[in-house]
Amino acid sequence: MMMINKKQVRIGMVGYKFMGKAHSHAFRDIPFFFDTEVVPVLKAIAGRDEQGVRQAAEKMGWDSYETDWRRLIERNDIDVIDIVTPNNTHAEIAIAAAKAGKHVICEKPLALTLEESVQMLEEVKKAGVVHMVCHNYRFAPAVQFAKKLIDQGRLGRIFHIRATFLQDWLMSPEFPLIWRLRKEVSGSGTLGDLGAHIIDLARFLVGEFDEVVGMMETFVKKRPLGEMDMNLKGRAESGKWGEVNVDDASVFMARFENGALGVFEATRFSRGNRAGNRFEINGEKGSIRWDMENMNNLQVYLEEDEPGLQGFRTINCTEVEHPFAGAYWPAGHIIGYEHTFINLLVEMMNGISRGFSPSPNFEDGVRNQMVLEAVEQSVRTGKWVKLSEYV
């Protein structure tokens, strides 16, 4: 194969479901589209169910599998541990991986709690390994281009961000009590699952949060036990019911350190919205809008445009001028959700070959977790919470 002269980075992935599929695909595509200095090799995956993990390894192109993640970490033919398991396992696996000198990639939210995330950051720093957290949406070329416009000052001073992540896949009261609805496994509901993404986008594009105030609601309080598949379709088991102890919806307001104001909404009860991950940012000289369901497009309004021609224009961010886009297809030939993971993991490869932890890394994960924690504290107390409380 072409990659023969390049240094290989041997990946060990823990978990293999929805995110496992996204990451496996991305690792495989990196050498196809990008000319990175090092190339990932799909060495082994780990999962408890032998039949499931074997089938996943075969289907997704992994060399081997383990039924215990600890075994993966002990192996000396693995350089990177990629964590795509439920949130309550992130800290233990990441810390063990770092102690064994492996680089670490972890799905979001980084941890169950702020405290755990801080421990994870300390351990990766102590071990001197490369680390990243998978906030993939900032790797859509249109979002990267939005960042470029903001950094160039094209929007001027930023006044507002309003961001949503709206879903509707568990509105039926018959939808089962899956792990994402159990606090002890997920940490929180919509806040950590969906809110974490829009918090990351806001930190990337606008800056650090200064203070927040929020509200949360659990609309369906009891659900049947059961499972769901990779398409977020639930299957209830008969008879047994359990209590939902996380939020179905979270809304919060924020003030940023640079004085901008933010309004955020994360919900699984927004009928008709499957993945309404959207933001609008308003600055003194212009505005931008992005919608993940049309992820190649960025809407841009520039006040400097001639009167009469002013208005939001739609830029299809598939030109070579748009970050990451040139690696794929000629302009206008769009890319999709899976490419956000490829772009993120290209950064991980660059970090490994050049010796740094690309953003979003565990520092970003901790910052994100501070916002999650502050929103929860504000919901508990009914008061604004300053992020400086946690620094």
Question: Which one, 134 or 260, has the nearer CB to ligand SOE?
Answer: 134
Both structure tokens of 378: 């504000």
The least distance separating ligand SOE from the CB of residue 240, rounded to whole angstroms, comes to 23
The H or E element containing residue 170 is none
Both structure tokens of 289: 């809008």
With CB under 6 A as the contact rule, which of the stretches 20-28, 151-159, 191-199, 234-242 interacts with ligand SOE? 191-199
The least distance separating ligand SOE from the CB of residue 275, rounded to whole angstroms, comes to 6
Measured CA distances, 288 to 111, 336, 337 (Å):
31, 20, 20
Question: Which one, 18 or 159, has the nearer CB to ligand SOE?
Answer: 18
The least distance separating ligand SOE from the CB of residue 28, rounded to whole angstroms, comes to 20
With CB under 6 A as the contact rule, which of the stretches 42-50, 110-118, 189-197, 378-386 interacts with ligand SOE? 189-197
Question: Which one, 171 or 331, has the nearer CB to ligand SOE?
Answer: 171
**Closest C-alpha among 17, 78, 6 to residue 47:** 17
252 near 202, Cβ under 8 Å? no
The least distance separating ligand SOE from the CB of residue 247, rounded to whole angstroms, comes to 13
The least distance separating ligand SOE from the CB of residue 212, rounded to whole angstroms, comes to 20
Neighbouring-strand partners of residue 146: none
With CB under 6 A as the contact rule, which of the stretches 53-61, 148-156, 190-198, 327-335 interacts with ligand SOE? 190-198
Q: How many residues bind ligand SOE (CB under 6 A)?
A: 5
The least distance separating ligand SOE from the CB of residue 197, rounded to whole angstroms, comes to 6
With CB under 6 A as the contact rule, which of the stretches 72-80, 192-200, 282-290, 374-382 interacts with ligand SOE? 192-200
Question: Which one, 68 or 227, has the nearer CB to ligand SOE?
Answer: 227
Q: State the Cα–Cα distance between residues 331 and 359, nearest whole angstrom.
A: 27
Question: Which one, 123 or 364, has the nearer CB to ligand SOE?
Answer: 364
The least distance separating ligand SOE from the CB of residue 382, rounded to whole angstroms, comes to 27
CA dihedral 372→273→135→147, nearest 10 degrees, is -100
Contacting ligand SOE (CB under 6 A), which of 193, 247, 280, 347? Answer: 193
- Footprint (CB under 6 A) of ligand SOE, residues 46-105: none
Residue nearest to ligand SOE as judged by C-beta position = 193
Q: State the Cα–Cα distance between residues 94 and 125, nearest whole angstrom.
A: 12
Question: Which one, 232 or 334, has the nearer CB to ligand SOE?
Answer: 232
**H helical segments located in the chain:** 18-33, 50-60, 69-74, 90-99, 114-127, 141-151, 183-186, 190, 196-205, 337-354, 362-381
- Footprint (CB under 6 A) of ligand SOE, residues 246-285: 275
Question: Which one, 19 or 379, has the nearer CB to ligand SOE?
Answer: 19
Question: Which one, 144 or 282, has the nearer CB to ligand SOE?
Answer: 144
225 near 233, Cβ under 8 Å? no
Question: Which one, 114 or 194, has the nearer CB to ligand SOE?
Answer: 194
Contacting ligand SOE (CB under 6 A), which of 87, 144, 167, 361? Answer: 167
Residues counted in the chain: 391
Phi (first) and psi of residue 375, to 5 degrees: -65, -45
Judge residue 388's burial from the number of C-beta atoms within 10 Å of its C-beta, 0-12 exposed, 13-18 middle, 19 or more buried.
exposed
242 near 179, Cβ under 8 Å? no
Neighbouring-strand partners of residue 161: 262, 281
**Closest C-alpha among 273, 263, 107, 86 to residue 181:** 86
Neighbouring-strand partners of residue 211: 255, 386
Place of tokens 């594009």: 205
With CB under 6 A as the contact rule, which of the stretches 43-51, 95-103, 193-201, 298-306 interacts with ligand SOE? 193-201
Q: Would you tell me which residues interact with ligand SOE (CB under 6 A)? A: 167, 193-194, 197, 275
